[in-house]
Amino acid sequence: MLETLNTIVCEVERDRTLERPEQLRERIRAMDRLEDVMQHEPSGITPAGLAVIATLRRRAKERHATLADVQQRLCDAIRHAIKLGAGAHALRGWVRHDDLLQPWGYDHLDALVGDVLALDEPVSDIAPLDTDMVFYQPTPVRHVLDLIERARLTSDDVLVDLGSGMGHVPLLVSICTDAQAIGIEREEAYVSSAQRAAAALRVERARFVAQDAREMDTSRGTLFYLYTPFTGDILRQVLDQLRREAGRRPFRIATLGPCTPTVANESWLRATREPQADRITLFRSIA
Ligand SMILES: C[S@@+](CC[C@H](N)C(=O)[O-])C[C@H]1O[C@@H](n2cnc3c(N)ncnc32)[C@H](O)[C@@H]1O
């Protein structure tokens, strides 16, 4: 075990490329490895071994602090760019195509965007969910950036995130595109967090509404996004609302997760490519 811990610390200390801002994926992975060293709990080890571990922990902590500093400077630069209205340039282009090969779980992009958006924990209690409502889990950032890339949103677009949680989809859409974005979320504490983040970053094109999606005004959205916020009867009711809206004008829907096959079965929608639950799927309404 000592040898493994030593190898980690030596490798991460030696690799100076980790200090380059663009080495995000590698830096976050290295920081995770250093955290493993820092948190290692030795057992059945000699006093000499304990001393070696203490030294390795100290070195790991120092190297971690250096990399955290690089990370903080990158995050501050992106936040600054967002406040100046240049967030699209600062945030787009981070996704590599192989990032999407791993559909689930969170990665280096979530770590970066989490720091950039600085979404604070809700200050009040979270209300229990009713049947068919899905608990808050954010869309992994690589999928949000994939959605932004593929949807080619313009200033004529309004993205509506149904069940927007703490709001990072509307926030990223408003930062990275010229579109408006609206988050509809039943949990008021999440809505307040999203509003605080938008105000702190001066993101004016994102709006958040504390509301049940079944009561939303469907008339404004040009792209409705569902990261499986609800299932069963609620999903049915919302799809029926959207079908009625599609009778008045065309729009698009994007999905991710288990709601995708249900949405794909709607006769008034056409997927732009083979629907897949683990990739963003875009649909167009047909009259
Ligand atoms: C899986 S999370 C999706 C979060 C966000 N859309 C994202 O992609 O990062 C589902 C969210 O939908 C919300 N939700 C569930 N049922 C809802 C409803 N009927 N109306 C509005 N929000 C709802 C939950 O509170 C939760 O925050």
Q: Do the domain assignments include residue 210?
A: yes
Lowest mean pLDDT among 42-51, 78-87, 152-161, 186-195: 42-51
Q: Do the domain assignments include residue 275?
A: yes
Statement to judge: residues 188 and 214 lie in one domain: yes
Residue 41: predicted pLDDT: 86
Statement to judge: residues 235 and 171 lie in one domain: yes
**Which pLDDT tens digit goes with each residue over 259-273?**
999 999 999 999 999
Statement to judge: residues 146 and 208 lie in one domain: yes
Query: How many CB atoms are closer than 10 A to CB 42?
Result: 15
Cβ atoms of residues 176 and 149 within 8 Å:
no
Place of tokens 């060293």: 37
pLDDT band at 275 (very low <50, low <70, confident <90, very high): very high
Statement to judge: residues 262 and 186 lie in one domain: yes
> Which amino acids bring their CB within 6 angstroms of ligand 1?
133-134, 136-139, 161, 163-165, 168-169, 184-187, 190, 212-214, 227-230, 234
Say yes or no to pLDDT of 98 above 90: no
Closest residue CA from atom 8 of ligand 1: 139
Closest residue CA from atom 23 of ligand 1: 163
Sequential DSSP letters for 218-279: TTS-SEEEESS-B-HHHHHHHHHHHHHHHTTS--EEEE-STHHHHHHT-TTEEESS---TTS
CA–CA distance, 253 with 217 (Å, rounded to integer): 15
**Which pLDDT tens digit goes with each residue over 203-241?**
999 999 999 999 999 999 999 999 999 999 999 999 999
Q: Do the domain assignments include residue 88?
A: no
**Which pLDDT tens digit goes with each residue over 130-171?**
999 999 999 999 999 999 999 999 999 999 999 999 999 999
Statement to judge: residues 77 and 104 lie in one domain: no
Q: Do the domain assignments include residue 20?
A: yes
Counting from 1 in the atom list of ligand 1, the atom nearest the Cα of 227 is 8
Structural domain boundaries enclosing 60: 2-83
Statement to judge: residues 132 and 166 lie in one domain: yes
pLDDT band at 123 (very low <50, low <70, confident <90, very high): confident
Cα dihedral sign for 130, 132, 135, 141? negative
Element of type H or E holding 185: strand 180-185
Q: Do the domain assignments include residue 91?
A: no
Provide the 3-class DSSP secondary structure of residue 135: coil
25 CA distance to ligand 1 centroid (A)? 28
* Domain CATH code at residue 115: 3.40.50.150
Sequential DSSP letters for 18-77: GGSTT-HHHHHHHHHHHHHHHH----S--HHHHHHHHHHHHHHHHHHHHHHHHHHHHHHH
Provide the number of structural domains found in the chain.
2
Residue 124: predicted pLDDT: 79
pLDDT (mean) for 14-25: 96
Statement to judge: residues 138 and 66 lie in one domain: no
pLDDT band at 49 (very low <50, low <70, confident <90, very high): confident
Helix axes 168-176, 188-200, angle to 10 degrees: 30
The order of strands in the sheet holding 269-271 is 206-210, 180-185, 158-162, 223-226, 252-255, 281-285, 269-271
Where on the phi/psi map is residue 167: left (φ > 0), alpha (ψ -120 to 50), or beta? Answer: left
Statement to judge: residues 187 and 261 lie in one domain: yes
Residue 121: predicted pLDDT: 80
Statement to judge: residues 56 and 127 lie in one domain: no
Residue 42: predicted pLDDT: 81
Say yes or no to pLDDT of 100 above 90: no
* CA angle centred on 146, ends 138 and 92, rounded to 5°: 95
Statement to judge: residues 32 and 118 lie in one domain: no
Closest residue CA from atom 12 of ligand 1: 163
Residue 152: predicted pLDDT: 97
208 CA distance to ligand 1 centroid (A)? 12
Residue 32: predicted pLDDT: 96
22 CA distance to ligand 1 centroid (A)? 32
φ and ψ of 160, to 5 deg:
-115, 115
Statement to judge: residues 106 and 133 lie in one domain: yes
Statement to judge: residues 30 and 128 lie in one domain: no
